Amino acid sequence: PLALSGNVAYQGNAVEQAATGGEVTVTAPATPADTTPPSVTITSPANGATGSRQTIAAKASDNTGVVKMEAYGDNKLLASTATGSINTTWNLKSGKIAKGAHTVTVKAYDKAGNIGVASVTVYK
């Protein structure tokens, strides 16, 4: 709480502002910077899923709002949205994609530039 006494503003016992002309101007403290990344949940595919065609679905939430989401298959960008959810398909049938383990990664960005990440492993 801020207390005024004469031409002096006090915060506890500390003098916040003093004035000589009968006015006291108090500036509110700066809002702390947002350092919390978005929370990302991959709803599909499940970790350990198998198949040559994977549906990637995910959602994200953040205290200041999600401004972008991206879906990756083995670090290759598959889709991007400007919302808090993403849904796309990754076709692993291509002869260029070897059998074995592959990584699905989803990233979410908030207004402050924080990045939330979630990943699962799928098998072709």
pLDDT tens digits along 92-115: 997 789 999 999 999 999 999 999
pLDDT at 68: 98
| High-pLDDT (> 90) share of the chain, % | 69
Tokens (6 digits) for 83: 């919302």
* Single pTM value for the model: 0.76
Q: Tell me the average pLDDT of the chain.
A: 87
Average pLDDT over residues 35-48: 97
For residue 57, which of 36, 82, 40 has the smallest C-alpha distance?
Answer: 40
Nearest to 78 by CA among 109, 56, 98, 100: 56
Least confident of 17-21, 41-45, 54-58, 120-124: 17-21
Q: Return d(Cα 106, Cα 38) in angstroms, integer.
A: 11
- Residue 96's pLDDT is 84
pLDDT of residue 7: 59
